[in-house]
A = this chain, B = another copy of it.
Amino acid sequence: MEATDLRAAHAALRETAPLVHCLTNTVVQTITANALLAVGAAPAMVDDPAEAGEFAAVASAVLVNVGTVQQRTAEAMRIAARAAGDAGTPWVLDPVAVGGLTFRTELAADLAALRPTVVRGNASEVLALAGAGKGGRGVDSTATPEDALEAAGELARRTGGVVAVSGPVDVVTDGTRVVRIGGGSALLTRTTGAGCALGALVAAYVAAAAAGDPLTGTVAAHAHVALAAEIAADLADGPGTFPAQWLDALDALDDDALTRADLRTDD
């Protein structure tokens, strides 16, 4: 994969304006919705069992993020994941803080067995979900993406999908190919929700991508987030003013901008 391949992914995203059904944690719903709007997608947050299946069946993609999960939304997540699978709709699993908490760790294992199109998390979360670690410190990772590379590859082969591990250099793999995305800004970790919003952008990009190539869509989302973060870090005065600048930059980047991504492929 070359950075020039991301031009088409971005063009497809802008053209199709995918409707992304988000079952996500209440801390990050606002920035997640705003990030989707900024890149030209349409967000909708529907997280009750009474509606989750009906909506997942008509959405372009589904995001399942277990950040503030409860019994009710856990049930909605199971329903939405199954409805997406039945409809052939791509869906993304974000296993926030999995490993350290029993309830969500069991839930995430069940969801992973439903074969998410993409799993996106930090290294500790991916290690825990793959059965190779006990999780991080709260929502923070205590491992690096490279530490999680082998587990990520194994998990990807098990789900038949893509696994993305966020960090200073992100690692994305489908179990065979490995793509690394550099750049970005440390400010992404100093404001809540940037990683969770990235999960939603992965869903949007994968929905827009050519069928059968979730790897490119996943990489494009990571590149888009990293490039926008670099612009925003230059304009912001700190972690408080960063998110608004980041959203402006997500909006402003065009197809060509994506080709400036810092991609590193193994082959």
- A71 CB–B CB distance under 8 Å: yes
Cβ-defined partner of A45 (8 Å) among B43, B54, B68, B102: B68
A37 to B192, CA, bound (A): 8
Number of copies: 3
Assuming the contacts A44-B139, A68-B46, A68-B47, asked whether A101 and B54 have C-beta atoms less than 8 A apart, the reply is yes
Contact A239 B103, beta carbon cutoff 8 Å: no
**Inter-chain contacts of A245 with B (CB < 8 A):** 240-241
The segment from A21-29, A151-159, A177-185 that touches chain B is: A21-29
| A window 61-93: CB within 8 A of B | 67-72
Main SS class of interface, A: mixed
Residues of A within 8 A of B (CB): 19, 21, 25-31, 33-34, 37-38, 42-48, 50-51, 54-55, 58-59, 67-72, 97, 100-104, 137-140, 190-193, 237-241, 243-252
Given contacts A27-B30, A54-B101, list 13 more A-B pairs with CB under 8 A: A26-B29, A28-B30, A34-B191, A37-B239, A43-B139, A44-B97, A55-B100, A58-B100, A239-B248, A240-B245, A240-B249, A241-B247, A241-B248
